[in-house]
Amino acid sequence: METKTHIALVTVPVYSHLRSILEFTKRLVHLNQNIHVTCINPTFGSSICNNVKSLFESLPSNINYMFLPPINLEDLPKDIHPALKVEATLHRSIPSIYDVLNTLHSSSKLVAVISDGLINEVLRLTKKLDILAYSYFPSTTMLLSLCLHSSNLDKTISSANKDLLEPLEIPGCIPINSTDLPDPMLDRSSEGYKIFLEANDRFYLADGIMINSFLALEETTIRALQEKEDEGIPSIYPIGPFVQNVSCDNGSDLEYLQFLDKQEKKSVLYVSFGSGGTLFSEQIIELAFGLELSGQNFLWVLRPPNKHGVIDDLDSGEYEDEILYNFLPNGFLERTKGKGLVVPYWAPQIEILGHSSIGGFLTHCGWNSTLESVVNGIPIIAWPLFAEQKMNAVLLSDGLKVAIRPKVNENGIVEREEIAKVVKNLMVGEEGKEIHQRMEKLKGNAIDALKENGSSTMTLTHLALKLESLGSHLGT
């Protein structure tokens, strides 16, 4: 019987990360069907929610999966930031992950372990087993360059990052203001910053890092890292874009489809802050008035306000739709009826972005959403909320020039007049037309990267052949 090349995959309990790494895994086994994958999934809470179950139930037969026993987080504060809850879950899952990896390796001789970049402590565990260790990096090469160079950058910075007057020079990247750095870097005296540096140093344990990006999108940064492989930088594999290739088979009776079908081509602004992003109450009010003032058509996915700017993306909604609408200005739904539609909590983003009436995307700049916009050629209004999203916004607006970024006032609010101006500029202004042309070119580049002889497909094919060769060697 033919020997299968067995690989273990370690995920993190964040829906956006799960979507990305599972799409990568499906692509890997599609390109080389002699590869068999076992997904190991840390969990928290008492049950696995339906949207996560659907991700795993759609996997092909050569991808198995298991959910680790839920981590008990009852000792944590009730209002803890969701990111800290994930961090605690991952840290407490390490012993269980190691036990599973050890068992799998003993029984079937694992060739390699691929772990999400958020849980790169698995790289250290994998080295103990003396097998190949890879990291799957679901964000930009720009962020990866920052991570790989963060210790060196730390040594060259004498003041707190948030007080830097000069833009920070990250190898291979456009300069970035200190205020646009990821959250842990904004206070060099914090424990979070120390943890950030330590985690980044672990990337050097990897035999390779796979990035959900493609050559034409970030060529300068990718080349800069690849040229430093002789200096200890792990091998870099740009293999994206990975975008979930599904749509909702619910017919044309859905309200959002009826609304979109009535609109002219490229006339609707889609407004969504990802699988978990949201705004605080005052900003929701300003956004509503800004959309109304712009006079443009819009489809807005609304979530309840939250002080952290994020709700748990693996939980369901806590408000009834009617109560959720109470966070909007009085009379807003009536005044915008016909021109705008508000959808509570969730909408099938991939299907919406692919609709012919969508002409712009107001997004939090999460990397999944960004790539979904790119592959559909949709211009962007960049509205970052947390994590590395401000860096993504810089790449989109200043680097690739496919986005407009609204100005924030001294109180951290984007005012309604600014919102209306930016929306009109993107949807019907001259700058918007130029952005659309550049985004259409990126769309073509993304399609080309995934063709049979495209840069991403060739890169992943060569990596899969390498893993298969090692698997065959183990099987002899």
Confidence (pLDDT) at 246:
56
Query: Looking at per-residue confidence, does 146 or 183 come out higher?
Result: 146
Whether residue 414 contacts residue 406, with contact meaning beta carbons closer than 8 Å, is answered with: yes
Provide the residue range defining the domain that includes 463: 5-138+206-240+451-475
d(CA 115, CA 7): 11
Whether residue 180 contacts residue 393, with contact meaning beta carbons closer than 8 Å, is answered with: yes
Residue 156 in domain: no
Query: Looking at per-residue confidence, does 159 or 208 come out higher?
Result: 208
Query: Looking at per-residue confidence, does 246 or 68 come out higher?
Result: 68
Q: Are residues 433 and 457 in the same domain?
A: no
Residue 181 in domain: no
Confidence (pLDDT) at 475:
57
CA atoms within 13 A on the CB side of 445: 18
The separation between CA 161 and the C-alpha centre of its own chain, rounded to angstroms, equals 24
Average pLDDT over residues 434-454: 98
pLDDT by residue (tens digit) across 116-139?
999 999 999 999 999 999 999 999
Active-site annotation holds for 116:
yes
d(CA 18, CA 424): 35
Confidence (pLDDT) at 51:
77
pTM, 2 dp:
0.94
Q: What percent of the chain has pLDDT over 70?
A: 91
CA atoms within 13 A on the CB side of 52: 23
Question: How many other C-beta atoms can be found within 10 angstroms of the C-beta atom of residue 405?
Answer: 20
Confidence (pLDDT) at 320:
65
Angle of helix 191-202 versus helix 121-128 axis, rounded to 10: 40
The label of the residue with tokens 């009536």 reads 334
Buried b (16+ CB within 10 A) or exposed e, 58-89: ebeebbebebbebbeeeeeeeeebbbebbbbb
For 67-81, 179-193, 311-325, 408-422, which range has the lowest pLDDT when averaged over its residues? 311-325
Confidence (pLDDT) at 316:
47
Q: Which pLDDT band holds residue 79 (cuts at 50, 70, 90)?
A: confident
Q: Are residues 298 and 431 in the same domain?
A: yes
Residue 149 in domain: no
Q: Are residues 10 and 101 in the same domain?
A: yes
Query: Looking at per-residue confidence, does 310 or 445 come out higher?
Result: 445
Tokens of 201: 């140093």
To the nearest 10°, report the CA torsion of 288, 305, 16, 363.
20
Q: CA–CA distance from 272 to each of 125, 296, 397, 429 (Å)?
A: 38, 16, 18, 22
Q: Which pLDDT band holds residue 250 (cuts at 50, 70, 90)?
A: low
Average pLDDT over residues 210-219: 98
User: What is the pLDDT of the chain when averaged over all its residues?
Assistant: 91
Tokens of 119: 């849980």
Q: Which pLDDT band holds residue 236 (cuts at 50, 70, 90)?
A: very high
Confidence (pLDDT) at 1:
41
Q: Are residues 405 and 261 in the same domain?
A: yes
Question: How many other C-beta atoms can be found within 10 angstroms of the C-beta atom of residue 307?
Answer: 10
Q: Where are the beta strands (DSSP E) in 158-223?
A: 208-211
Q: CA–CA distance from 68 to each of 71, 341, 380 (Å)?
A: 8, 40, 38
Query: Domain containing 226 — which CATH number?
Result: 3.40.50.2000
Q: Are residues 103 and 118 in the same domain?
A: yes
Residue 339 in domain: yes
Question: How many other C-beta atoms can be found within 10 angstroms of the C-beta atom of residue 197?
Answer: 17
Residue 261 in domain: yes
- Is the four-CA dihedral 108, 114, 116, 120 of positive or negative sign? positive
Tokens of 135: 């990291």
Confidence (pLDDT) at 2:
57
d(CA 42, CA 89): 7
Average pLDDT over residues 211-229: 97
pLDDT by residue (tens digit) across 336-371?
999 999 999 889 999 999 999 999 999 999 999 999
Task: Pinpoint the alpha helices (H) of 185-295.
Answer: 191-202, 219-226, 255-261, 281-294
State the Rg of the chain over Cα. 22
For 313-327, 333-347, 411-425, which range has the lowest pLDDT when averaged over its residues? 313-327
DSSP SS3 for 68:
coil
Q: Are residues 377 and 391 in the same domain?
A: yes
Residue 198 in domain: no
pLDDT by residue (tens digit) across 103-119?
999 998 899 999 999 99
Q: Are residues 389 and 323 in the same domain?
A: yes
Q: Which pLDDT band holds residue 372 (cuts at 50, 70, 90)?
A: very high
d(CA 157, CA 152): 9
Confidence (pLDDT) at 346:
87
Whether residue 367 contacts residue 139, with contact meaning beta carbons closer than 8 Å, is answered with: yes
Whether residue 44 contacts residue 90, with contact meaning beta carbons closer than 8 Å, is answered with: no
Angle of helix 191-202 versus helix 141-156 axis, rounded to 10: 120
d(CA 454, CA 446): 9
Query: Looking at per-residue confidence, does 271 or 155 come out higher?
Result: 271
Q: Are residues 266 and 377 in the same domain?
A: yes
Q: Are residues 233 and 263 in the same domain?
A: no
344, β-bridge pairs:
302
Whether residue 113 contacts residue 128, with contact meaning beta carbons closer than 8 Å, is answered with: no
pLDDT by residue (tens digit) across 15-46?
999 999 999 999 999 999 999 999 999 998 76
- Is the four-CA dihedral 43, 44, 47, 49 of positive or negative sign? negative
pLDDT at 373 over 70: yes
Tokens of 106: 């003993």
Q: Which of 6, 105, 116, 180 is catalytic?
A: 116
Q: Report how many domains make up the chain.
A: 2
Q: Are residues 277 and 215 in the same domain?
A: no
Residue 160 in domain: no
pLDDT at 249 over 80: no
Q: Which of 6, 17, 36, 105 is catalytic?
A: 17
> For residue 460, with 0-12 CB atoms within 10 Å meaning exposed, 13-18 middle and 19 or more buried, which class applies?
buried
Query: Looking at per-residue confidence, does 2 or 169 come out higher?
Result: 169
Q: Are residues 210 and 289 in the same domain?
A: no
Residue 199 in domain: no
- Residues, the chain: 476
Confidence (pLDDT) at 26:
96
Active-site annotation holds for 17:
yes
Query: Looking at per-residue confidence, does 315 or 17 come out higher?
Result: 17
Q: Are residues 326 and 456 in the same domain?
A: no
pLDDT at 381 over 50: yes
